Structure 1
């Protein structure tokens, strides 16, 4: 008499008999693998930031942009679980540093210090990175260009200055910080607005441009008021008008061009941005950090020691200001022949 063999479960294609105990083992193995995979995925999705971040400055260490970036990084340190490290990548009028961030993985670990040169340098045919490659987050400082003359100049008001410039094309020489700089653009915009032509005198930076005015080599300058404020306060120079939305603190008696019917807004501003494709959650996190940085007393003191003007702008306002200035520059660039 033959005994029956134990029952087995057959493979769907009847290739091998597979015992029930083996099936349970396979199911357990699959379940285990799924659990391990889920744990790995959870680890891969660590909360941002899980490593140090870089704030790239497209200029040499020691300047206003570098100092501002370091003040931001220091103020942000206690607000995030990881530090922000300032990295200097100068060269090609700033385009090397901007490209470094714009082409990086848009994961929030590389930020850029944004400046108005981002709007001008591409118009000069230098580099391929433009301001459109970034998501502005927040502006921290904004120092408007101004029309500043010697204290002994014949013009007491901006109206007198503009009337003379209109009646005497090219006779008013205005110093700037170099061809294609914000002061150069500001002076050209004023001439275009009131229908006259100034003689533009470029210097290698704002400091020598101011010295040129003090020496009487030019009749006016359009460098930012913050950079010549000590000379105004000492009585050697006088500022007739500023190119800002509102009057500058400490210059309560000095009007804006907007008040005088020439809505010109040109300034040297500094803020932070991220690559365009950065996740919204990361942008929002930095936006909240920026809110707290601007309220930090130590940060405010550092910025003021640098003779810079605190002028906070949240993401929407900052983005709108950049767009407005970019359009103005695009119209002015052909008139300035910036590629020369």
Structure 2
């Protein structure tokens, strides 16, 4: 055999070995558990939904997905940790509406461009919720009381710049009312404040009030949805009352932005199967979770527009200079 033939054969062998190694690496992923970062506390609405989504990960991915709560800074700590995680496919996480506000508010150097969205999972529409025995049975009755006594009524919401605080500001702006917005650390604390009579209303999500509504302790006067929410079919929307308020939070799965394409696709395919699993769908329906699947690339485009809108709202509330 000629020397040139030997060289060609050797080169071909090396090429095939390299290709096989690459294929083997792709097939081997994942070969250990994956960490999913949740930027909010255990037991909260984001945490519960995230854990329910990935509880059957082993069936679809061959490995477990372990949820890790990293709290602080209204979600900034966890979402920053996700964006700075190793882009090897073993770190993913849940990101929320607050991701759009960190940079405009100068709270953390992280935004939607710093992660790669895998898929949108759910929407969490805002509400106007009061105690069950409150004197208002309709949205208009509540708003009329607010107009008659400006700044007397109190709405429990999240801290300035967080989603339910933005919701409260949007509601008061659109309805042309003056209502005190009282910040609490999160939805659970806002619900407790309303149940205890510390405030008159709250803007937190359907998911966060539905159990108290079912128990007869709270009532929802309106939902910030395009159409009536399936968990509250007898409750009108703000739009039905003549107010263009369609607003809420969302939750999406994301990874560090430089994740390899092959590993990203494996994760995206497996998480979509978990999303479609009848057990997850049933859990969501029973717990008032509004599922809203959007593929990652499409959702990223949506976030470009929404980020600009959020920046404008924050500026209107006097929270930024822009």
User: Within the alignment, does 1:260 sit opposite 2:241 as a pair?
Assistant: yes
* Root mean square deviation, CA, Å: 3.1
2:29 to 50, 73, 79: 50
Deviation at 1:43, TM superposition (A): 0.7
> Given that residues 26 and 262 in structure 2 are in contact (C-alpha distance below 8 angstroms), is that contact kept between their aligned partners in structure 1?
no
1:130 to 106, 111, 127: 111
Report what 2:124 is aligned to. 143
User: Is it true that 1:328 corresponds to 2:309 in the alignment?
Assistant: yes
Pair 1:128–1:331, CA change in 2 (3 A): same
- For residue 47 of structure 1, give the secondary structure of its aligned residue in structure 2: helix
Aligned partners of 1:93 and 1:126 also within 8 Å: no
The size of the alignment, in residue pairs, is: 316
- CA, structure 1 residues 239+62, in 2 after alignment: closer, same or farther (shift >3 Å)? closer
Structure 1's unaligned 5+ residue stretches are 1-20
Query: How far did 1:170 drift?
Result: 1.6
179-188 or 40-49, which moves further after superposition?
40-49
Partner of 1:98: 79
When residues 299 and 264 of structure 1 are mapped into structure 2, their CA distance, relative to the original with a 3 A threshold, is: same
How has the CA–CA distance of structure 1 residues 264 and 324 changed in structure 2, closer, same or farther, with 3 Å as cutoff? farther
Larger Rg: 1
| TM-score, normalised with respect to structure 2 | 0.82
Q: Using the TM superposition, name which of 264-273 and 52-61 deviates more.
A: 52-61
**C-alpha deviation, 1:271, in angstroms:** 2.3
Contact 1:59 1:94 in 2 (8 A): yes
CA spacing shift, 1:229–1:76, aligned 2, 3 Å: same
User: In structure 2, do the counterparts of structure 1 residues 212 and 95 end up closer, same or farther at CA, with 3 Å as the change threshold?
Assistant: closer
Aligned CA distance change for structure 1 residues 265 and 82 (closer, same or farther; 3 Å): same
CA distance, structure 2, for counterparts of residue 317 and residue 259 of structure 1:
29
Deviation string, structure 1 residues 180-200 (Cα, Å, up to 9, x no partner): 332211010111112232211
Q: CA deviation at 1:241?
A: 0.4
Structure 1 distance, partners of 2:294, 2:28, is 21
